[in-house]
Amino acid sequence: MIKNSKYNLITILGPTASGKTGLAAQVASRVKGEIISGDSRQVYRNMDIGTGKDYKDYTVDGIEIPAHLIDIEQPGHHYNVYRFQSDFFQVFQDIRERGKFPILCGGSGLYIESVLKDYQLIHVPPNKELRKDLENKSLEELTDLLKSLKPDLHNTTDMETIRRAVRAIEIEKYTRNHPELKFSFPDIKSLTIGVSLDRDSRRERITQRLKQRLEEGMIEEVQRLLHSGLTPQQLIYYGLEYKYVTLHLTGQLTFQEMFGKLETAIHQFSKRQMTWFRGMEKRGTQIFWIDGSLAFSEKIEKILERFHQP
Residue 267's domain is classified under what CATH number?
3.40.50.300
Task: State which residues form the domain around 44.
Answer: 2-118+185-307
When pLDDT is averaged across residues 57-69 and rounded to a whole number, the result is: 97
The residue from 162, 181, 200 where one domain ends is 181
234 shares a domain with 95 = yes
160 shares a domain with 34 = no
pLDDT at 73: 97
123 belongs to a structural domain: no
The residue from 142, 162, 181 where one domain ends is 181
176-182 own/partner pairs: CB under 8 Å, 24+ apart: 176/149, 178/122, 181/122, 182/120, 182/122
CA distance 42 to 87: 14
277 belongs to a structural domain: yes
208 shares a domain with 157 = no
Question: How many domains does the chain contain in total?
Answer: 2
**pLDDT at position 100 over 60:** yes
244 belongs to a structural domain: yes
239 shares a domain with 225 = yes
What number of CA atoms fall less than 13 Å from residue 259's CA on the CB side?
Answer: 12
pLDDT at 182: 59
194 shares a domain with 281 = yes
Read off the pTM: 0.82
CA distance 197 to 209: 15
When pLDDT is averaged across residues 11-28 and rounded to a whole number, the result is: 96
298 belongs to a structural domain: yes
228 shares a domain with 106 = yes
30 belongs to a structural domain: yes
Q: What percent of the chain has pLDDT over 70?
A: 93
49 belongs to a structural domain: yes
230 shares a domain with 170 = no
Structure confidence by residue, pLDDT tens digits, 33-58: 999 999 999 999 999 999 999 999 99
**pLDDT at position 25 over 70:** yes
Beta strands in 29-125 (DSSP E): 33-37, 59-60, 63-64, 67-68, 101-106
147 belongs to a structural domain: yes
200 shares a domain with 173 = no
pLDDT at 125: 84
pLDDT at 1: 44
CA distance 270 to 202: 8
CA distance 248 to 208: 20
**pLDDT at position 200 over 50:** yes
192 shares a domain with 164 = no
47 shares a domain with 156 = no
Structure confidence by residue, pLDDT tens digits, 74-97: 999 989 888 999 999 999 999 999
Structure confidence by residue, pLDDT tens digits, 114-168: 999 977 666 778 899 999 999 999 999 999 998 898 876 655 556 678 988 898 8
When pLDDT is averaged across residues 265-279 and rounded to a whole number, the result is: 96
When pLDDT is averaged across residues 237-254 and rounded to a whole number, the result is: 97
44 shares a domain with 23 = yes
165 belongs to a structural domain: yes
pLDDT at 171: 83
Mean predicted lDDT score pLDDT of the chain: 92
When pLDDT is averaged across residues 260-276 and rounded to a whole number, the result is: 97
The residue from 181, 196, 226 where one domain ends is 181
What confidence category does residue 183 fall into, taking pLDDT thresholds of 50, 70 and 90?
A: low
pLDDT at 179: 67
93 shares a domain with 48 = yes
pLDDT at 223: 98
Strand order of the β-sheet with 9-13 is 67-68, 33-37, 101-106, 9-13, 190-196, 288-291
Whole-angstrom Cα Rg for the chain: 21
Cβ atoms of residues 211 and 306 within 8 Å: no
